[in-house]
């Protein structure tokens, strides 16, 4: 969504309308209706039911949201609340609403830091929600309230762990990832969950490359919306694996700590969920998961030097020393031969002198 202009500068509607250019990119297999909802940046916003609300605000600001009052006889007494943090740090509070529209007593959530998984709560005791951002960075999050009978969610089974396969045997610059299937639960789904029509996306980024700033905070690598934000900001790389749950990522730079995560998305309903992020340090000849490789003083420093000294000693004893002995023996023989001739010449001269006398 991109802001284009604000009303006609000279018309009667000057400043009363805003115009936006909207592009929709989808990987769904079937057509699906959707709605785009705009709201003013005021202190209190009505939170729609069964529809996620994306909010972007500055750090230090507070936004309040109010759920609709259930109609008499509707039977709606509970609601499923969830908060997915895309970037920044937030605190969630909830409470009931009095006659003046203010929270009169705390509800289920009081000073909850970070995101909140879908939680079933009483509607009247949690009708008013307050989300406060803190820190100097901008904050973005997804807030959603669902009717329990219409709530659906994706959940990896048996767990959200990403496995690093063949870490020690992999060559430098490549790593193999594998993960559990994600099942769709909730309204209209089997009790054991449905695993068809679920596709996966793999994200990875350099951990030190992603820096936070007031204008462009670091995305939450443990949430789906945070990973999509990192991809939009061109800080993360993404590949689609369709329904495959094992992939080899290649062309990674050596001596770099990478952060990997997977997002599962239902192409039928649009629900998504992220797995647990995995950190991998890429070595030049191997992949080691979970941290920086340790350096051994003996194996990495002393042993190579000792081996080199032994090899040089063997070369000296096997080749250089015999050559030196042979050369010295030849030199002694040559000097001995020259010394005997000189004595013969000297002796012949003395005898000749005596004869002259």
In angstroms, rounded to a whole number, what is the distance separating the alpha carbons of residues 296 and 346? Answer: 72
pLDDT at residue number 341: 46
Higher-confidence residue of 108 and 266: namely 266
Average of pLDDT values for 125-152?
Answer: 89
Return the percentage of the chain with pLDDT > 90, whole number.
31
**What is residue 143's predicted lDDT score, i.e. its pLDDT?**
93
Per-residue pLDDT of 189-203, as tens digits, reads 899 998 888 999 999
Q: Is the pLDDT assigned to residue 28 strictly greater than 80?
A: no
Residue owning tokens 């749950």:
245
The pLDDT of residue 2: 58
**What confidence score (pLDDT) does residue 345 get?**
43
Q: Say which range, 65-74, 116-125, 162-171, has the weakest mean pLDDT.
A: 162-171
Which stretch of 65-79, 252-266, 294-308 has the lowest confidence by average pLDDT?
Answer: 294-308
Question: How far is the C-alpha of 159 from the C-alpha of 182, rounded, in Å?
Answer: 9
Tens digit of pLDDT for each residue in 205-260? Answer: 987 654 444 445 578 999 999 999 999 988 999 999 999 999 999 888 888 889 99
* Residue 259, burial from CB neighbour count under 10 angstroms (0-12, 13-18, 19+): buried
User: What is the token pair recorded at 134?
Assistant: 């803190």
Task: Give the per-residue pLDDT at 99.
Answer: 52
Give the Cα separation of 114 and 116 in Å (integer).
Answer: 7
Q: Are 79 and 67 in contact (CB under 8 A)?
A: yes
Q: How far apart, in whole angstroms, are the C-alpha atoms of residue 260 and residue 230?
A: 12
Global pTM reads: 0.67
- Which pLDDT score, from 0 to 100, does residue 266 have? 92
Environment class of 289 (CB within 10 Å of its CB; exposed 0-12, middle 13-18, buried 19+):
middle
Q: What is the pLDDT of residue 38?
A: 65
């Amino acid at each position: 969504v991109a802001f284009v202009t604000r009303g006609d500068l000279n018309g009667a509607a000057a400043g009363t309308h805003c115009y936006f250019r909207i592009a929709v990119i989808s990987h769904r297999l079937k057509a699906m209706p959707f709605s785009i909802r705009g709201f003013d940046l005021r202190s209190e916003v009505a939170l729609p039911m069964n529809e996620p609300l994306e909010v972007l605000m500055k750090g230090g600001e507070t936004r309040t949201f109010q759920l609709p009052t259930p109609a008499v006889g509707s039977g709606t007494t509970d609601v499923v609340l969830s908060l997915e943090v895309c970037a920044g740090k937030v605190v969630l509070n909830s409470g009931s609403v009095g006659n003046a529209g203010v929270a009169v007593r705390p509800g289920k959530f009081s000073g909850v830091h970070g995101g909140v998984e879908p939680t079933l709560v009483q509607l009247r005791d949690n009708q008013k929600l307050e989300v406060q951002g803190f820190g100097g960075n901008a904050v973005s999050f997804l807030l959603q309230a669902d009717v329990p009978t219409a709530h659906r969610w994706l959940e990896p089974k048996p767990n959200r762990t990403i496995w690093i396969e063949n870490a020690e045997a992999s060559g430098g610059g490549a790593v193999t990832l594998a993960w559990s299937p994600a099942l769709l639960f909730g309204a209209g789904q089997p009790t054991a969950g449905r695993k068809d029509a679920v596709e996966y996306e793999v994200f990875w980024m350099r951990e030190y490359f992603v820096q936070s700033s007031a204008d462009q905070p670091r995305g939450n690598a443990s949430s789906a919306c945070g990973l999509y934000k990192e991809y939009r900001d061109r800080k993360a790389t993404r590949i689609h694996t369709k329904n495959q749950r094992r992939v080899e990522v290649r062309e990674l730079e050596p001596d770099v700590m990478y952060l990997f995560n997977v997002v599962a998305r239902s192409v039928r309903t649009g629900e998504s969920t992220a797995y647990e992020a995995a950190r991998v340090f890429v070595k030049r000849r191997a992949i080691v998961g979970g941290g920086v490789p340790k350096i051994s003083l003996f194996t990495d420093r002393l042993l190579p030097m000792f081996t080199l000294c032994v090899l040089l000693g063997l070369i000296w004893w096997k080749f250089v020393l015999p050559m030196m002995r042979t050369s010295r023996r030849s030199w002694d023989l040559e000097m001995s031969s020259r010394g005997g001739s000189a004595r013969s010449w000297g002796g012949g001269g003395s005898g000749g002198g005596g004869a002259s006398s």
